[in-house]
Structure 1
Amino acid sequence: MGTEAPATPAPQEQRELMQAMLTRLPEFADRLAKLLSEKDEFYHQVDAVAPEELRQVCRANLKRALTSFADGRELSLDAARKTGLAQARQGIPLPAVLRAFRIGGMFVYEALLGLAGPGFISSAQTAAMSSTVWRTIDLYSDALATAYDEVAAEPSPERRELLEDLLQGRLDDPLELEETAAKLGLPPAGMFVAVVSETVEPDWHNAVELLLRARRWRSVWRHGAEAGLVAIDRLEDVRRVRDVLGSMPLAVGMSKPFTGLAEIPDALSRARVARLSLPAGTPGVAVFGDSPVTTLVAGAPAMTREVVRSSLSGVLVLPATERKVLLDTLAAWFAGHGSAKQAADRLFVHPNTVRYRLRRVQELTKRDLTDPVDIGELYVALESVRLEAEPD
């Protein structure tokens, strides 16, 4: 869903009517508040307890809508979403909010017709104005419903505690595990994947959860710690979940699929290692074990740092520019399956340039790029450098 509802400049006659409503805004806000109180029991109670607050809300919404229509500006759906988030957290029922938007839209339409009087605007303009009002109501209603879905997905303190017990492996009894999963909306048995993402705003997790739910996958998330579980139906879903997560600008690690709820802590650890196998600041999705060497490097960073020092130390002590050229050339050579020509094509240089740089790497590292053992050591070392901040 976009953040704006498209608008086109209203005809002069309609703009005059909207400006007329704006000049009498307190009056129309009062009339709308009374209408809401008459038509909806919830707003009747609000009017009885906080009448001025209800009129202020009506005034603000009318002013925003009329000003946008009159100026031909696009209507911000973000405002509707924020309104929905606030009202959902206050416990205002969604049906009452949606009904209020419909009542408010028809109120504006009928008020404009009343100000126009007979013959002021053509029948075609009347129909166009009606279409604009209903289109706006539909778009705002969708934005409100999405906001309510987001709030519904926000974990309560009890839910957070249950989720933490599940993720930390604090539950030993199989029956207790199944009951906890059921309370969290997860199937008590079946197939799951664990997911760990980089630190992001809470809205990102809400967006991910909505995307997964739209494809009928149930998921739960530990907000703030960037960990989650996704229930899947079949092995092929792993690729589909990966595609959904890959559509977001996030760095995400996934575990292999597993079937037992007791395996969740280990699966999360593997997802975390997979997340670390992506270079810092690089969006994408890595599945544990898809690239075995990279997974091992990410899972044992302290050990691989020693490998870096011993295997690539002669390169890493060079000035930053020269060091980067040699490391990039070595990476391109590995990506090109040991072909100097393919590496040259990737780097946009002559193959002889690649060969010269590789000889330089061999001289500095004392490693032979025709020896499988030396090649393996250099590849592990290069992966460690790639995943960590480049040494100074």
Structure 2
Amino acid sequence: MGGRRARTDREWSVLVTASRVLLERVPALTDQLMDELTLHSEQFDAAVPRDEHWRQINEAMRYGIEAIAAPRTAPRRDLAYAEQLGRQRAEQGLALDLLLHAYRHAGYLVWDELLRIVSEEDPDDLPMLVHTASQMWAGVDRQATTVAEAYRSTEQSMRRRSDERVQALLDALLEGRSTPGLAARAAAGLDLPEQGRYAVVVVRVERRDGREPFRRVAVAQGMRFFWRMRTDCEIAVVAFEGETGLAELTAELVRPCQGPGGVSPVVESLSGLGQARRLAETALRTLPPDAQRIVRLDERLPTALVVSQPELAARLITEVFGPLLDLDPADRAVLLETLDAWLEYGGSAGRAATRLYCHRNTVFNRLRRLEQLTSRSLSRPRDLIEMTLALDAFRLTPG
């Protein structure tokens, strides 16, 4: 560093001589440090095998002492070793604050021993040793910084690998794989019960300019969300707590997400997530692409039956709406929009007319024409069911 005072020849000579003596005392200092670290925290012995710990402390001290009296241009083996230990201690699970304590406590022991050696050899040299204290402690701080950076980098990498493994397990569950032990491993990784109440949400998304169309909920009252991104949708596994259920889930989703989205029924274990995903996707398919709603499968079962059987849906359209298919597209659209409004408002021609901006008699006339073309009566329950399902099939059929 530019502002640091250079050591005098005499100071250098005192440091070199004292360091040589100090190196001979490293085994005893290692024993002392080991004992004091164990008294400070039992985690040292729990995380690192004692023989390995002794050897590494002994080596780290030697490299540190060599650095005290080494020229500035000399390779810093103490820093390379600190980086190695930082990575290893992160993998072993020793807390970072304990690792930093060990490094700094080692610095105190080394400094005290240096003072003792110089006092024994020539007490008059103590002032010269004190002049080098700031440089020595700067070296200890640099070692601590190096070990901390390596530790944090390794910890982040481990966390990322762990997250990737857990997400892969979650993906496997959502795909419905039946690998033995899969649910148990996912439960441990996600900190969730293997047997519990879960649902799956599938939301169709359209990404533009890198912006997400909704905010992913992570935690809500009585619910935890685990989101997975797909090419054209977002999938969430929802873990319920207490009495929370689908009604609260749907209400929570409406705020950040306008849809379209589908919600599965509740399943009773993580192993049921594959089925739940398929049912949530079915619920989503009951909505047209431009819908702005989140729907539950249990509220859309008739329509779900239609979209789940494309061949039967196509036949239903042909059988029920056959004559309408020959009409001019604009004319056909008016009749089907009128039927849709009338069904939405529970058979109220007046409310349907309000939505369609026409007279209620116009609604009646259009419905009568629809009945004539389809040879069906909206007053007969079975005919009404066929008309309703055929309308869903027509609106939700691609192309």
TM-score for the superposition, normalised by structure 1: 0.54
Is 2:180 the partner of 1:169?
Answer: no
Question: Offset of 1:230 from its aligned partner?
Answer: 0.8
Is 2:343 the partner of 1:345?
Answer: no
1:302-347 C-alpha deviation (Å, 9 max, x unpaired): 3112101110121232222211110111112222333333332332
Q: What secondary structure, in the 3-state scheme, does the structure 1 residue paired with 2:200 have?
A: strand
Give the 3 Å change call, closer, same or farther, for CA 335–385 of structure 1 in structure 2.
same
Question: Offset of 1:373 from its aligned partner?
Answer: 1.8
Is 2:258 the partner of 1:249?
Answer: yes
Q: What secondary structure, in the 3-state scheme, does the structure 1 residue paired with 2:340 have?
A: helix
Is 2:246 the partner of 1:238?
Answer: yes
Matches within 5 A, 1:249-288: 249-288=258-297
Q: Which residue of 2 aligns with 1:20?
A: none
Question: Offset of 1:190 from its aligned partner?
Answer: 1.6
Which of 333, 342, 345 lines up with 1:333 in the alignment?
Answer: 342
Is 2:187 the partner of 1:187?
Answer: no
Looking at structure 2, the residues matched to 328 and 193 of structure 1 have their Cα atoms a distance apart, in angstroms, of 34
Looking at structure 1, the residues matched to 394 and 242 of structure 2 have their Cα atoms a distance apart, in angstroms, of 36
Task: Give identity over the alignment, percent.
Answer: 30
Question: Offset of 1:243 from its aligned partner?
Answer: 1.8
Is 2:314 the partner of 1:305?
Answer: yes
Structure 2 stretches lacking a partner, 5+ long: 1-158
1:269-289 C-alpha deviation (Å, 9 max, x unpaired): 100000111111212211112
1:111-155 C-alpha deviation (Å, 9 max, x unpaired): xxxxxxxxxxxxxxxxxxxxxxxxxxxxxxxxxxxxxxxxx9999
Give the 3 Å change call, closer, same or farther, for CA 250–319 of structure 1 in structure 2.
same
Question: Offset of 1:198 from its aligned partner?
Answer: 1.0
Q: Which residue of 2 aligns with 1:220?
A: 226
Looking at structure 1, the residues matched to 385 and 321 of structure 2 have their Cα atoms a distance apart, in angstroms, of 12
Question: What letter is aligned with 2:250?
Answer: R
Looking at structure 2, the residues matched to 284 and 190 of structure 1 have their Cα atoms a distance apart, in angstroms, of 27
Q: What secondary structure, in the 3-state scheme, does the structure 2 residue paired with 1:195 have?
A: strand
Which of 306, 311, 317 lines up with 2:326 in the alignment?
Answer: 317
Q: What secondary structure, in the 3-state scheme, does the structure 2 residue paired with 1:283 have?
A: coil
Looking at structure 2, the residues matched to 206 and 379 of structure 1 have their Cα atoms a distance apart, in angstroms, of 32
Q: Is the 8 A contact 1:369 1:375 kept in 2?
A: yes
- In our comparison, the structure showing a higher alpha carbon Rg is 2
Q: Is the 8 A contact 2:258 2:294 kept in 1?
A: no
Looking at structure 1, the residues matched to 212 and 362 of structure 2 have their Cα atoms a distance apart, in angstroms, of 45
Matches within 5 A, 1:106-121: none
Matches within 5 A, 1:76-95: none
Q: Is the 8 A contact 1:220 1:230 kept in 2?
A: yes
Q: Which residue of 2 aligns with 1:158?
A: 165
Looking at structure 2, the residues matched to 229 and 351 of structure 1 have their Cα atoms a distance apart, in angstroms, of 46
Give the 3 Å change call, closer, same or farther, for CA 338–227 of structure 1 in structure 2.
same
Give the 3 Å change call, closer, same or farther, for CA 253–153 of structure 1 in structure 2.
farther
Question: Offset of 1:234 from its aligned partner?
Answer: 3.7
Is 2:381 the partner of 1:372?
Answer: yes
Q: Is the 8 A contact 1:178 1:189 kept in 2?
A: no
Bigger CA drift: 263-272 or 187-196?
187-196
Question: What letter is aligned with 1:300?
Answer: Q
1:61-118 C-alpha deviation (Å, 9 max, x unpaired): xxxxxxxxxxxxxxxxxxxxxxxxxxxxxxxxxxxxxxxxxxxxxxxxxxxxxxxxxx
Q: Is the 8 A contact 1:194 1:255 kept in 2?
A: yes
Looking at structure 2, the residues matched to 197 and 363 of structure 1 have their Cα atoms a distance apart, in angstroms, of 39
Looking at structure 2, the residues matched to 244 and 203 of structure 1 have their Cα atoms a distance apart, in angstroms, of 21
The total of aligned residue pairs comes to 236
Question: Offset of 1:235 from its aligned partner?
Answer: 4.5
1:356-381 C-alpha deviation (Å, 9 max, x unpaired): 11121122112122222222111110
Which of 299, 323, 340 lines up with 1:290 in the alignment?
Answer: 299
Q: Is the 8 A contact 2:201 2:237 kept in 1?
A: yes
Question: Offset of 1:200 from its aligned partner?
Answer: 4.3
Q: What secondary structure, in the 3-state scheme, does the structure 1 residue paired with 2:219 have?
A: helix
Looking at structure 1, the residues matched to 240 and 160 of structure 2 have their Cα atoms a distance apart, in angstroms, of 19
Give the 3 Å change call, closer, same or farther, for CA 214–375 of structure 1 in structure 2.
closer
Looking at structure 1, the residues matched to 367 and 212 of structure 2 have their Cα atoms a distance apart, in angstroms, of 43
Give the 3 Å change call, closer, same or farther, for CA 362–205 of structure 1 in structure 2.
closer
Q: What secondary structure, in the 3-state scheme, does the structure 2 residue paired with 1:218 have?
A: strand
Q: Is the 8 A contact 1:186 1:219 kept in 2?
A: no
Looking at structure 1, the residues matched to 336 and 349 of structure 2 have their Cα atoms a distance apart, in angstroms, of 14
